[in-house]
Each structure stands twice: as C-alpha cells, then as structure tokens.
Structure 1
Amino acid sequence: MRASVRRRPLSWFFTLAFALSWAAWTPYILSGNGTGVWHFTFPGGQLGSQLLGVLPGAYLGPIASALLVTTVTEGRHGLRVWRSRMTRFRVGWGWYAVVIVSVPAALALATSAVTGQEPVMPPAAVLAVYLPGLVLQMVTTGLAEEPGWREFAMPRMQRRHGPVTATLIVGVLWGIWHLPLFLTDWGGGSLNGGVKPVEFVVTVVAFSFVMTYVFNRSGESMPLVMLLHTSVNNFNSVAWSEMFPSVDPGNIDHAFLLGSATAALVLLAVTRGRLGLRPAQEA
C-alpha cells in the first residue's frame, strides 16, 4: 500500500478525501438535518448543526488526506514544505487589502447586475461582526479545505498538466466533494432537480481559476488563499442579506457564479492562461 501511495499520490489523496469526508458526513445526511432517515437532529440550530455535522468531515477529508499522503511520499521534507506554505504570511499588506475589499465589492456588483437592486449600507452590528466572522471562517472552512485542494493538489497537478487543466480538474473534484451536503440544511435540503448542485460545481470551477491565480502570484501563500475562499463565505453569510434585504436569497448563488466567471475570464485573458504560474513552480 505504501508503494502504491508513492506511485499515485494524487489518486490516493482524492480517494481518501472523498471517502473520509463522505463517511463522516453520513450521520448528518441521515439525520433530521438531512434526509430524516435517522430520527435525530443535531443541536445548535443551523450554525451549531453545521459545525457538528459538517466540520468533522471537512477536517477528516482534505487536510487529513494531504498530511497522510505527504508523510508517506515525502516524509519530513514534504511536511516542512507543507508547513512553509501554510505559514507564508509575508506577501505584502496590499494583497490582504485587495482580497478583503475586492471580494465583497465583486459579489455586491454581481448581485446588483443579477437583480437590478442597489446595495444598502449594512447595520453597524454587521460591520462589527464581519472581521470576527472572517477569523472563524479561516479556522473552520479555510483550514479544513484549502490545505488539501490548493496546498497539496495544485502544485502537483500544475507540474503535470499546466495551470488551466489542473484548475479544471481540482475545481471539478472540489465541487463534487460537496454534493452530498446538498441533501442537508447546508445545501438547502433539496437538490432542486439537480440545477442547484450543477450551478454550484460550475461556480466552484470558475472560482478555482481565481484561487489558482492568487496561489501562484502570492508565492503559494496559503493564508492568503484561505482568506480569499473564506471572504466569499463570510460575506454571503454575514453581510449579503443585510445589503440586499428585498432580494430573493436564491440570487446569491447566481451572483457568485457571475462574479466568479467574470473574474476567471479576465484572468485567463490577461495572463494568457498562465494564471500567475512562474517557471520555478513548474520545475
């Protein structure tokens, strides 16, 4: 088995990430928060149930699989490289400012384009909890997912397939990994005829091009990549409904798709498909 992992580290990573997460999510999917097969509801309301039902599987999948495969294939050297990317905070304050400002701005503009509604200034309470919410998202969603999909998978995929193909593969798998959660409160409890999950996967693939660009251009800074990912989640969950109080919540998915697709097309055109990849990263 160890020899197999060393020959096919990416295959093993993706297989383990799916198997471990989906197995850990099974009780949540079968519970009253999901299909209702199991007559038990996770406590704590929507937030508490997702922390107890979703987060364990998220941590057990990508990050645990990445650490396991890295240990088997590259040993201490691989873990040191992994740690160096995870602690690469020094990328210039401008990067952090751009991400923190541009993500809410892009999503607000996209929502206005989709709905024709102008955003309103959110209450002071929303502004007060925005940064703490971002920190919480970094510790939960960001830390659970990105050390696997971006830190482990992207460098290896890019060396083998180039940035565009690598982004497509990782983006599709990243999106599909979420699909069982559409049977739960996390995804609204309904597949909606398959339209909502398909739109989600397409959006995730488009957003992955933005993630790849930031990963490459920032010198593979994982804190910045995690901030980009969690800025979307945090804006959508904390500020979006307050800025667009009269808009149907379903439009948030359409806005994310429009914003991600637009940014992806711009980056592909400007970088000519390189997405910020440098020769040293390809070596």
Structure 2
Amino acid sequence: MATVTPARHRGDLALFWTTTFATTWAFWLVAIVLGGSPTSSPTVIPYVLGGFGPVVGAVAVRIRRRRRGEPVPAHTVKTRLNVWVPVLLVLAVATVVAGAVLADLLGGPAVSLTEGEELVAKVGGPVAFFVSMLIGGPLAEEPGWRGTAYPRLRASMSPLRAGLLMGVVWAVWHLPLFLVSGTVQAGFGLVSWSGLLFTLSVVPMALLTGYAYERGGVLASIAVHLGVNATMALLTAYSPVTQAVVLAVQVVAVGALLAARRGRNGDLPARALPAPVGR
C-alpha cells in the first residue's frame, strides 16, 4: 500500500475543492438563469443537485485514493453512534434557542414558532420537514466537508486552524445562493447586515461540526448541522439582532469546547485520532 505524503494530501484537497466548487456553482448558475422558486420545477432540480457538490468531490477523492492503493488519512474518524451524537445535537439546538431568547431579551424579535409551524405545514408536515432539512445541507455536504476535506487538513493543522479554513471556504461556497431567487440568502441580500452575519456564522458552524466529527465522525457532524439549520428555520431566527446573538453564543460554545479539548490533550496538529476507517 502506498505511503501518503503531505503532497498527496494537498493533491486530494485540490481535487476536492475543484470538483466541489465546479459541480455546485455550475448547477447553481443554472438555477440563477432559470429563475423562479428553488422549491418548484424546473429550478428545484439544479438547486438541489448543486447542494451535493461536496459529495461529488468526496467521491472523486475516494476513487483516486483507491486506485492508488493509499491508506485513509490518519485523522479519519469512524462514523459511529455514541453518546456524543445526541449530546452535540442538543448543544447545536441549544445555541440557537439561547441566542434567540437572549436576542428577545435585548429588544430583538420575540421568540415564536408561528412562522416555523407554517413552514412545516407548507412542506407537508413534520416528516417532510425533517427529511428536507436532513437532505438539504447535512447529508449533501458533511461527507465532503468533514468526511473528506477535514481529516486531510488535520494532517498538518490543529483543529482550530483546520476549522477556520473550512469555515472560510464553506462561506465562499455558499455565495451563489444569494443570487438564487427564493432562498433564505437571497432574502437577506449579499450587501446587508443579515447577509454579512450569515456569512460570518459559517465559521463557528465549521468549528462546531469539525469538533463533532472528531467525536463521532460524519454522523455527529450531520447531527450538529441538522440541529442548527432546523432550529433556525423553526424559530425563524433571521433578524440581524438574532443572527448576531446566535453567532456570539456559538463562538462562546465552540471556544469552550476547543479549550477543554486542548486542556486535556494538547493541540498537536499531527496527533492521530481514534479508529481510522476507509473513507
């Protein structure tokens, strides 16, 4: 079996970034040109397919790795159901709820489920809402961002540096959504406080999902991604004040998690994580 060198990791990352962005942005460009709602035909097709760009990138990397007979990255974490999955899911939900409540106390919009209930009814009920929130983001993205790119970044970076870089790349990847009519991002507007806060919020989300990945693999990162997205939608936590407070709460939460981890284990970038598997 071939030895994996830093150059090979960089090559894998270059292939992943290129494939992911090319796939996503090509489909989302079609959605922009078609116009119309991203939940109605024909725009819904390229809109949904574009979200799977990270999975396409992950598949491309895995095909190349297996053809070369290379082992998995040392920092790959086995996807497993352990206590961290529900704990981190609850934590993800709690960051949004706490932010919304604090924003309410600070004079922002009142916490309400009214619009969230209307959204659930509009998409066809709780099951349809859950499935749509699970597919549209967590399942379409996490096998790529965390399951493929993150462990290769961790080969030469600390969790903090890897998470920050992932956050910046992830934020840039979302930019075309500001031009797809009918998306939450288009409703914000790119040049607005809400648009800026959404873009900034991707960074603590990348750190939180990265932490989750190291605790329970892709399953844990999917749980965190789902928890935040679904709670934001249910609480309609999209006002600038609420976004800012949720962002602050998540920064504090992820800072505490990373500090506690560093206090126990140090922050060595090349430290191997448990249970590497074929990813």
What TM-score comes out, normalization by structure 2 length? Answer: 0.75
Which residue is equivalent to 1:110? 99
Q: Which residue of 1 aligns with 2:19?
A: 16
Alignment check: 8 A CA contact 1:154 1:166 kept: yes
Aligned partner of residue 81 in structure 2, secondary structure:
coil
Aligned to 2:261: 271
Match of 1:164 in 2: 160
User: Aligned ranges for residues 1-283 of structure 1 at < 5 Å?
Assistant: 8-32=11-35, 41-42=36-37, 44=39, 51-59=44-52, 61-75=53-67, 88-91=79-82, 94-116=83-105, 119=111, 129-130=125-126, 133-184=129-180, 185-186=182-183, 187-189=185-187, 191-193=189-191, 195-218=193-216, 221-237=217-233, 239-241=234-236, 249-272=239-262, 279-281=271-273
Native 8 Å contact 1:42 1:52 kept in 2: no
Structure 2: unaligned runs, 5 residues or longer? 1-6
List per-residue Cα deviations over 1:175-206 (Å, max 9, x = no partner): 11001111222113563525444322321111
Query: For residues 118 and 190 of structure 1, do their structure 2 counterparts lie closer, same or farther at Cα, with a shift above 3 Å needed?
Result: closer
Contact 1:212 1:275 in 2 (8 A): no
Judging by fraction of residues, say which structure has more helix. Answer: 1
Per the alignment, residue 35 of structure 1 pairs with: none
Unmatched segments (≥5 aa) in structure 1? 33-40
TM-score by length of 1: 0.74
Identity %: 25
> Could you tell me whether the CA contact under 8 Å between 2:155 and 2:269 is conserved in 1?
no
The alpha carbon displacement at 1:270 in A equals 2.0
Shift of 1:208: 1.5
1: CA distance, partners of 2:162 / 2:147: 13
Give per-residue Cα distances to partners, 1:145-202, cap 9 Å, x unaligned: 1111100011110111221111111111011100111122211356352544432232
CA RMSD of aligned residues (A): 3.7
User: How many equivalent pairs are there?
Assistant: 256
In structure 1, how many angstroms separate the alpha carbons of the residues matched to 2:232 and 2:43?
16
Using the TM superposition, name which of 261-270 and 205-214 deviates more: 261-270
Instruction: Check whether the contact 2:113–2:235 (CA below 8 A) recurs between aligned residues.
Output: no
Instruction: Give the whole-Å Cα distance in 1 for the aligned partners of 2:69 and 2:110.
Output: 51
Residues 109 and 97 of structure 1, relative CA distance in 2, 3 Å threshold: same
Q: Of the two structures, which has the highest relative contact order with CA contacts closer than 8 Å and spacing of 6 or more?
A: 2
Q: 1:190 to 1:229 in 2, by over 3 A?
A: closer
d(CA) in 2 for partners of 1:16 and 1:201?
A: 22
Helix, strand or coil for the counterpart of 1:9? helix
How far apart are the structure 1 equivalents of 2:112 and 2:136? Answer: 29
Bigger mean CA deviation after superposition, 194-203 or 62-71: 194-203
